[in-house]
Structure 1
C-alpha cells in the first residue's frame, strides 16, 4: 500500500468497509435483506466520502476503485493475523 501512495486514512476506510461488510459473516450468503444491502451501500458511500474529503486535490475517480480492489488482500491479512494470535494463545 505504501508503494501505491495510500496513507492511514485510506487504510482506515478499507478496514471500515471490511468490518461493516455483511458478506464476511457466514450466516449472510446473499444480500436478500433490504436493510443489509442498504447498510453495505451506505458504508461504501461513506468510505468514498472520507477519501474525497481527505485528499480533494489528489483525488481521482479511479482511486476508490483501486482501494476496493485491495479489499481481498487486506481481508486475508486480517484473517491471518487473527489465526496467528489464536495460535500463540494455544502455544503459550
Structure 2
C-alpha cells in the first residue's frame, strides 16, 4: 500500500469476520499497521475510529466511494492491483 500519507511494503493478514474486516501488516514479525473496517467506520490502532469518507479524504482520495478500501480488501481474488496515478495511490494485494 502506497499513498502520499501511508507507505507499507510488507506482508500481512486479511481476516474477514461477521462484523468487521481486519487488515494487519507486519514487518520483521511486528505489527506496523492494523485496520479494522466495520460497516460504517474504519479504525486504526494509532488513532480513533473515523468515517470512511474522512479516512478517504485523509489517506486516499475524497473522490472514492466511502467503502472503497473495505471492498478492495474483501475481494477474494488471488491478486488485486489498484493504481490511481492521479492521486499517487498503489494498493497491491497478493493472497498466498
Q: TM-score, normalised by structure 2?
A: 0.29
Which of 1 and 2 has greater Rg? 1
Q: TM-score, normalised by structure 1?
A: 0.30
- Which fold has the larger relative contact order, with Cα–Cα distance below 8 Å and residues 6 or more apart in sequence? 1
